[in-house]
Amino acid sequence: MSRLLFLALFCMAFANGNAQDKIKLKTGDIIKSRVLKVSGTEITYYKIFKLKDPKLKLKKSEVEYIQYENGKIVYMTGKNPAKKGTAANPTKTPKKKTTTKKK
């Protein structure tokens, strides 16, 4: 019975440890965090496991991208490195309009 309880607690701890946002800085560092707000020029966040600490702020110009816990990645450069029409960027390319001549 104690092994089952230990296994359940271990699985819950692993699942919660992976539920976080990741901020990748342009220096290459990754901050495990909980992003609260992204405004025009800065990002407000808590460091993960330190939610009682004061809110921290970063300039958007220092950040390469934010990866949210659901897997969504938002690039701060305004450029998505994926090509159009791929799985990472599923935007459709515009179709050419065809016109017919009237007689």
Query: What pTM did the predictor assign?
Result: 0.57
**Helices marked H in 18-68:** none
The domains of the chain, with CATH numbers, are 21-89 (2.30.30)
How many residues appear in the chain? 103
Tens-digit pLDDT profile for residues 22-32: 999 999 999 99
| Pick from 10-14, 45-49, 73-77: least confident | 10-14
Angstrom distances, CA of residue 2 to CA of 5, 12, 102: 5, 15, 83
Would you give the end-to-end CA distance of the chain in angstroms?
86
